[in-house]
């Protein structure tokens, strides 16, 4: 485990010109704990406060991102399950974090944080990183470290669509770009329009055509494969209604990548909205230099497997329980 008390993240609020006494205590407690190696009781004695106050100071330091705790990704890349996933599925790399014993929500949070910490290590100058959308990627974006990555462009892969709790595509891409100090190319169109002629006309507009070219030119992508149940993201955002989803499940639909359906082998399943959709195609998502798939939970196993078999994923981040299910 390592700590970084010189995070490039800016505090979430503007500090006054003259640091307050409490701010000074927070900074001193943070330095003493992470750099000097003092325990909380020793720091309390040094500052003349209670141990509970020290705990609060350290908690506040984490909230302000004065310090960020990260784990060495190499540990999880060399896990037995990681090695087996690479061998069985032909992945370039698989990062497996321990599942949270308290429940799936905790495991999903661990996977999001692991993805956010690993992603900068996978980027190089000149990369164009395409970002999909959804709750999982929104969480990855929110917990991504604040740092500066030279000459990286983040690209929104799908058009905009109303989504609850801020999961819209433009939020995911813009947040990651801001955290990484990267350029951002947003796709300034709706994800779905009323008819195919309108979709074609919008795609032909010079500005939009340029943005779609950037989508096509991404050499690396970050995505999750959604589910196809009645409570799935594709259903909740009304991309497909429940009757249509049920019909496509009978056809073999196993997952959703960037609002497009795939079967158990990762092959596209055409839908009635495909020609009205503006964004990355499944062909454009396949065989990238890096396709980083984020998957956690038993309901994600089928889609994750289909994504890998279809050639969309080269790298995987998951939890140990999901890894076991993928290997069964």
64: confidence class by pLDDT, cuts 50, 70, 90: confident
This prediction's pTM = 0.81
Residues forming a β-bridge with 253: 263
- Do 208 and 227 share a domain, yes or no? yes
155: confidence class by pLDDT, cuts 50, 70, 90: very high
Mean pLDDT of the chain: 90
Q: What is the CATH classification number for the domain harbouring 40?
A: 1.10.10.10
Contacts of 196 (CB under 8 A, 6+ apart): 275, 276
Residue 16: domain span? 2-69
**Model pLDDT, residue 35:** 81
Task: Tell me how far apart the alpha carbons of residues 318 and 127 are, in angstroms, rounded to a whole number.
Answer: 24
**Model pLDDT, residue 16:** 45
Residues forming a β-bridge with 261: 256, 269
- Do 98 and 15 share a domain, yes or no? no
- Do 33 and 92 share a domain, yes or no? no
- Counting the structural domains of the chain, the total is 2
Mean pLDDT check: name the lowest of 14-28, 145-159, 235-249.
14-28
**Model pLDDT, residue 291:** 98
**Model pLDDT, residue 21:** 82
**Model pLDDT, residue 8:** 37
- Do 136 and 202 share a domain, yes or no? yes
Q: What is the mean pLDDT of residues 131-136?
A: 93
- Do 54 and 107 share a domain, yes or no? no
Q: What is the CATH classification number for the domain harbouring 254?
A: 3.40.50.1360
3-state secondary structure labels for all residues of the chain: CEEECCCCCCCCCCCCCCCCHHHHHHHHHHHHHHCCCCCHHHHHHHHCCCHHHHHHHHHHHHHCCCCEEECCHHHHHCCHHHHHHHHHHCCCEEEEECCCCCCHHHHHHHHHHHHHHHHHHHCCCCCEEEECCCHHHHHHHHHCCCCCCCCCEEEECECECCCHHHCCHHHHHHHHHHHHCCEEECCCCECECCCHHHHHHHHHCHHHHHHHHHHHCCCEEEECCECCCCCCHHHHCCCCCHHHHHHHHHCCEEEEECCEEEECCCCEECCCCHHHECECCHHHHCCCCEEEEECCCHHHHHHHHHHHHCCCCCEEEEEHHHHHHHHC
Residue in this structure with the two tokens 């890349």, named with its chain if needed? 77
Q: What is the mean pLDDT of residues 241-250?
A: 96
Mean pLDDT check: name the lowest of 55-59, 119-123, 162-166.
162-166
Residue 94 has pLDDT above 60, yes or no: yes
Given 46, 69, 92, the domain boundary residue is 69
Residue in this structure with the two tokens 């970002």, named with its chain if needed? 131
Residues forming a β-bridge with 2: 70
Determine phi and psi for 325, rounding to 5 degrees.
Answer: -65, -35
165: confidence class by pLDDT, cuts 50, 70, 90: low
Given 53, 69, 85, the domain boundary residue is 69
- Do 38 and 90 share a domain, yes or no? no
- Do 30 and 145 share a domain, yes or no? no
- Do 209 and 239 share a domain, yes or no? yes
- Do 219 and 114 share a domain, yes or no? yes
- Do 59 and 82 share a domain, yes or no? no
- Do 182 and 193 share a domain, yes or no? yes
**Model pLDDT, residue 4:** 43
Q: What is the mean pLDDT of residues 101-124?
A: 94
- Do 20 and 110 share a domain, yes or no? no
Q: Answer yes or no: are the C-beta atoms of 262 and 281 closer than 8 Å.
A: no
Q: What is the mean pLDDT of residues 37-56?
A: 92
Task: Give the pLDDT confidence of 211-245 residue by residue, as tens digits.
Answer: 999 999 999 999 999 999 999 989 999 999 999 99
Q: What is the mean pLDDT of residues 279-291?
A: 97
């Amino acid at each position: 485990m390592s700590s970084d008390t010189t995070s490039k993240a800016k505090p979430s609020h503007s500090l006054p010109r003259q640091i307050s006494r409490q701010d000074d205590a927070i900074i001193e407690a943070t330095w003493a704990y992470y750099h000097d190696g003092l325990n909380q009781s020793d720091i309390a004695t040094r500052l003349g406060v209670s141990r509970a106050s020290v705990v609060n100071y350290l908690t506040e330091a984490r909230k302000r991102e004065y310090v960020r705790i990260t784990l060495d990704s190499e540990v999880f890349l060399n896990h037995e399950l990681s090695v087996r996933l690479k061998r069985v599925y032909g992945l370039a790399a698989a990062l497996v974090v321990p599942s949270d014993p308290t429940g799936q929500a905790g495991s999903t949070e661990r996977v999001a944080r692991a993805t956010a910490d690993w992603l900068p290590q996978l980027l190089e100058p000149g990369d164009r990183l395409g970002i999909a959308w959804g709750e999982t990627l929104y969480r990855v974006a929110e917990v991504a470290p604040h740092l500066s990555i030279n000459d990286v462009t983040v690209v929104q892969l799908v058009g905009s669509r109303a989504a609850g709790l801020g999961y819209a595509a433009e939020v995911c891409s813009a947040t990651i770009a801001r955290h990484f100090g990267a350029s951002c190319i947003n796709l300034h169109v709706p994800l779905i329009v009323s008819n195919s002629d309108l979709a074609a006309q919008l795609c032909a507009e010079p500005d939009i055509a340029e943005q779609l070219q950037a989508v096509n030119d991404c050499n690396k992508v970050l995505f999750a494969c959604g589910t196809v149940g009645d409570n799935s993201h594709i259903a909740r955002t009304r991309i497909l209604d429940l009757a249509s989803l049920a019909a496509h499940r009978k056809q073999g639909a196993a997952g959703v990548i960037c609002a497009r359906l795939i079967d158990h082998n990762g092959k596209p399943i055409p839908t009635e909205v495909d020609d009205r959709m503006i964004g990355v195609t499944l062909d454009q998502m396949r065989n990238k230099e890096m396709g980083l798939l984020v998957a956690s939970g038993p309901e994600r196993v089928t889609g994750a497997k289909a994504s890998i078999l279809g050639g969309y994923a080269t790298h995987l981040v998951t939890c140990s329980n999901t890894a076991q299910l993928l290997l069964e």
